[in-house]
Structure 1
Amino acid sequence: MKALKKYVSVYRLMWKQVTDYRFEFLAELVCTFIPVIALYYLWSDIYIAENSIKGMKFGEMFLYIVLARFISMIITPNFIFEIMGDIQSGEIQHFICKPINYIRYSFVKYIAEKSRSMLFCSIIYIVIFAFLFKGKILYGSGVDIILFFVEVMVAMVFYFQIAMVIGLLSFWIYEISSWYYTLTFAIEFLAGGLFPLTLLPESVSNICRYMPFQYMIYFPARTLLMGTDRTEVIRYFYIIVPWIVGLGILLEVLWKNGLKHYELIGG
């Protein structure tokens, strides 16, 4: 119970901190919204020649594109450079002697920051499509809406673990930013953050079906817009849960060995 109170306190502190920087968050929203306008005109020009693409009409396609962008904004972590800085500057040593787990601490900070994004993005999403589609916002049943938020939360955990693995490599590798940028672009593509995975060639799309990345953006967006069935939900948990468990184990291994390496070189 005491351990839980510690992390609740961290969450409250970080929530206050992220809400204090209103201008920064407003700028982030504007930077996210401007590409949406560009995408609107881009896809509207594409649909001049075609009434539908792979069975998706313009409204459905644009709805997916914007929703995928908002999901990406919600789940994409940006703490990796903070971890790199903590390790390289020696700040990490403060967590070695304190009764707080650095990985859990980082996760709580990440959730606090993304809670703000999820709240405001949900509001903006509703407003945009209430305006563009005159109140006819397409989504699945009440169960599908609940599943959507569950899937986004799972995607946040999964993405956090991936970013944390890259961040902890700073114990051995001095510069990891190139790794991070390459990985985030690859995930954005494979997760369906740029366009629906159904637009890919069938051979590539079939490969993506057996990878966990589609469950980060494409699957949640499709759940909200088109609904899902019991078989797909079972398959979803069958694929994503082992990855999360495996990455959790890997994080513990990297943390323990990273601390040994850090102490060995005089940290």
Structure 2
Amino acid sequence: MKHIAFAASLLAVLGAAQAHETDYTVTTTWFEPQTQPKNTIFQGSFTYDEHTHTITGLTGQLSESMTGDDVASMVWLPLTYQLQSWYDASLGGTFAAVFKNSTTTTFCSTALCGSPADDWSPQTGVDVGGIYAGFPKPAKNPGNAYALIFVPETPTAALTQAQISKLAYADCTPTAPGGMMMGGGMMGAVCMTGTSLAGYGATGTMDGYPLSQTIAAAVPEPETYALMLAGLGVLGTLARRRARSA
């Protein structure tokens, strides 16, 4: 009986430790009127803690709607560094930004914005006209990109228009090999961005703006099922031993 109680308690503790953390997938779309039918899309995944409203492990890829002959052939940039995250009580959820580089330096440098500088935010991007850090020297362009998502307190709930309006992205990378590179970036000294008039006072540098975002619970990995089955197996074995010894 003691063995069964211990095993059950162990499984309960493990379950409780992970119960408040859930893995999700996210797809965010910015409408690009000048590159139709291609839009800028972020596809990613993250872990959300429902107790602390925190996002961790946000990673994914961002499409470049200026590339490729069609949607299928667009270039996709890997975004692997979640460097910014904060809770917004007024909007009822959490923002997180994931970057291509291991630094936030995107739009602004000390020479442009002074020190300390907000070198990445969507509002900074609007304020400096989308100019990349280090302009006018092409070699100073860090070639960064990011996507800013929003996760409501109920992650799979549909976003309100006010929440959608705060979604943003920036792409300051050069074109793909073989493409035309002007001044160090895909659009010369100007990054390609997506912002809304309601959220930041201007649409993106090619008139792009946030259109939608969907979040869904991620399908558990096979290892998770295996762990659960192993735990049930332990309980079953202990139960059989108890029955034989009774």
Would the TM-score normalized by the shorter structure come out above 0.5?
no
Higher relative contact order (CA 8 A, sep 6+): 1
Report the TM-score when normalising by structure 2.
0.24
**Bigger fraction of residues in strand:** 2
Asked which structure has the greater CA Rg, the reply is 2
Report the TM-score when normalising by structure 1.
0.23
